[in-house]
Structure 1
């Protein structure tokens, strides 16, 4: 068998494996999204939220560190920027924060 046939055979094996794995990759993303939806929303009155002056609505924040336009959705610590309305935050593990929220741990997304 010449080199071209070996390369073609190897390519076909890899392509077939990739096609078989594609639906499984989608399942993993769906599972992660489903798990995220089951997390509770961070309570503004919880000790952890109050410690960092967290508010669900950044437009209602009255804090010297807050700057207009800052919100969880454009914060580096909002770990799933594609999450709309509520998403995970590295500062509040196991809880979802409002995309339009804010806290003093805000770090602008580069």
Structure 2
């Protein structure tokens, strides 16, 4: 064993932190950080408590989006595909940050809809 302390100076501490931050993109390249929406089960709007509270529906035309008047886009253009909480840019079923571990439909809608920037 070594008698040297792990970090004896601020410079050594910074080197260790930067090395740790540099490892994050490598982990994503390996694929450990990727979740595919096709692997996620779809949200069940009838039984999921979050979906019920947010009035989530798979088909936005069946929603009450006109009565909520969410800013950012006309109500008839609001879908999960152009929502800020949608975590994918393509695909019929997508991961959503509001429904961890589940997939939403690209044509869905909920009361938390916010325009994607």
TM-score (ref. length: structure 2): 0.62
- Write the mapping of 1:1-110 to structure 2, written as runs, cut at 5 A: 25=29, 28=31, 32=34, 35-45=36-46, 46-63=48-65, 64-65=67-68, 67-82=75-90, 84-110=91-117
Aligned CA-pair RMSD: 2.2
Q: Which secondary structure does the structure 1 equivalent of 2:99 belong to?
A: coil
Q: How many residues align?
A: 83
Q: Hey, which bits of structure 1, 4+ residues long, moved more than 6 A?
A: none
TM-score (ref. length: structure 1): 0.66
Unpaired runs of 5+ residues, structure 1, are 1-24
Considering fraction of residues, name the structure with more helix.
1
